[in-house]
Amino acid sequence: MQNLTKASFLALMIAATPLWAQDAATEETPAEEATTEAPAEGAAEATEEAATGEAEEATGEAPAPGSDLNMGTPEGQEAAAAQPGAPYTKETHGDWQLRCAKPAEDQPEQCQLYQLLNDEQGNSVAEINLFALPAGGQAVAGANIVTPLETLLTEQITLSVDGGQGRRYPYTFCTRIGCVSRIGMSQADVNGFKAGSAATLTLVPAGAPDERVRLKVSLSGFTAGFNALAALNN
């Protein structure tokens, strides 16, 4: 199955979480074909001169040496440096990352628990983004599970904990990056994750409908991560 080579759906999913709405990912621009011809002599110099000329024309003066260099951000200050809406890792709990989107001014921060799922060969295959929901509903949490496009959608996905009875969930939509199943979790489901050591996510490849791809979902750090996530919503 094709690996997930794109960045996480975090920003897309966080934006959609309050309404459980379907969203579309930005279409990729195909890479240009490589050329075998050697660049013309002086091409690099011409490009540099053109860029410098454009900068001078825009500002009226030549840019200061080194003005285009990034000086880096001290660790732990990513949130302060991020632009509104940009995702960043707020905390790490075991095998889970608490990822948040920097809010706009006067807006609450929105976060999710994230884990990248690998196959037995270490290839990135799927990912899970889990979020807390307001109290009072049947579902106390939800999750966006992203799988490759080559997944057999009619077979749905199956999620179980420590070899127990699994639950099947349908797919909600697909984009150019992958297919998404948006699942609801009851308090009993969350408690099972907290008490368990590992969950198993089972997929069926479209090209091999008789096979099953079983991915381990580590539950190390889940309790602390979910408690931190829930605290942010209170």
CA distance 169 to 172: 9
pTM for the whole thing? 0.67
d(CA 221, CA 38): 53
SS3 176: coil
Q: Domain ranges in the chain? A: 87-150+170-196+220-232
Q: Tell me: the pLDDT tens digits for 108-152? A: 788 999 999 999 999 999 999 999 998 889 999 999 999 999 999
pLDDT digits (tens, 9 = 90+) for 70-108: 666 666 555 555 566 678 999 999 999 999 987 777 777
Type of residue at 86 = A
Q: Is residue 69 packed enough to be buried (19+ CB in 10 Å), middle (13-18) or exposed (0-12)?
A: exposed
The answer as to CATH 3.30.70.2860 being correct for domain 87-150+170-196+220-232 is no
- Please, are residues 99 and 111 in contact by the beta-carbon 8 Å criterion? yes
* Span 48-71, pLDDT tens digits: 444 445 444 545 566 667 666 766
CA distances in angstroms from 196 to 76, 178, 220, listed in the order given: 30, 28, 9
